[in-house]
Amino acid sequence: MSKFLEIQSVTKNYGAMRALGGVSLNVPAGSRTAIVGPSGSGKTTLLRIIAGFEVPDTGRVAMGGQVLAEGSNAVPAHRRGIGFVPQDGALFPHLNVAENIGFGLARNDPGRQQRIEELMDMVALDRVMLTRRPHELSGGQQQRVALARALAQRPKLMLLDEPFSALDTGLRAATRKAVAQLLTSAGITSILVTHDQAEALSFADQVAVMRAGLLAQVGPPAELYLRPVDAGTAGFLGEAVVLPAQLEGGWAECVLGRVPVNDKLRSGEANIMVRPEQLEWEDVAATAVGSQGDPACYGTVTDVDYGGPICGLTVHLKDADVDTAPLLVRSHGIQVPSVGATVRISVRGQAHVFAGT
């Protein structure tokens, strides 16, 4: 895919506070990008600079070959051809659905009503809702109306600022999936800003992790989840088990025993990571635990967090150092060991080796 949006070395300060410290990011045409990070990381500031609501102190933003901002010289927001869906939808409460969707369309346009109805169909809303006011809609319906209003101008780029955060869990997932499919089918490049890691990973083709005004890592969702650049990024994107290890020949010796790793060239001391779902358990009798020199890894289940289909097990390893943290192990809910059970732990797949550790 060709580059569509180019952000080069963008900085932004608010007084003595640095919001962006030199951010560079390329967004391919027709793709879905998610910018994820904790509160205060700079992700919303970056989105507002792309939209034209803020101007960068330094740096360059270009879209489709057109320069939108070069330092403080910027194209006004209304001339950028960019759609924006804010967190709360920002619908006009005194206007009905049709009037909200058609707000930016010329009132004397003979095709205005047809366009509004097409947009209702596009966001999967029944046309009977056209005369309703925003307070008569559910949260998910309001977000779809806000999306339809943003789509009315046929934008080249769609920006979504945490648009699903106010929805309950089930509705959030369904709305997110529907919006992603809609944007893809319409061929619209989109950028989602969120602090929800699972949302970013499921929505996007490309995920950008922000920390303290900088991009920590950019890449496909699976790449970031399975091969994060550092422990901070690993922990932000999900539960992670990070362990010191001794590497040699594509294997690591650690408290989990001898584990294959994804770097066959590294040797010596390093930190490795496995995700909890890579850890598999097998219930064994305490008397079956091997003697000294047994390469298997054993532990005792000290807590079970029953979550239905997926459960969390806390396992304290046998003969581990006192400062070794307990393991978090994911298990299906069909058969779960009891607290106090002795289990054998093995690793599925390869552990990830952090670069430069």
- pLDDT tens across 2-17, in order? 689 999 999 999 999 9
> Residue 294: which pLDDT band, with cuts at 50, 70 and 90?
low
Contacting residues for 262 by C-beta, under 8 A, at least 6 apart: 227, 350, 351, 352, 353
Domains and CATH numbers, the chain: 3-236 (3.40.50.300), 241-353 (2.40.50.140)
Quote the distance between the C-alpha of residue 315 and its chain's center.
28
**Residue with the two structure tokens 């097990």:** 313
pLDDT at residue 52 above 80? yes
Give the pLDDT score at 288.
64
Give the pLDDT score at 118.
87
pTM of the model: 0.86
Average pLDDT over residues 261-286: 91
Segment 208-239, tens digit of pLDDT:
999 999 999 999 999 999 999 999 999 999 99
pLDDT at residue 292 above 90? no
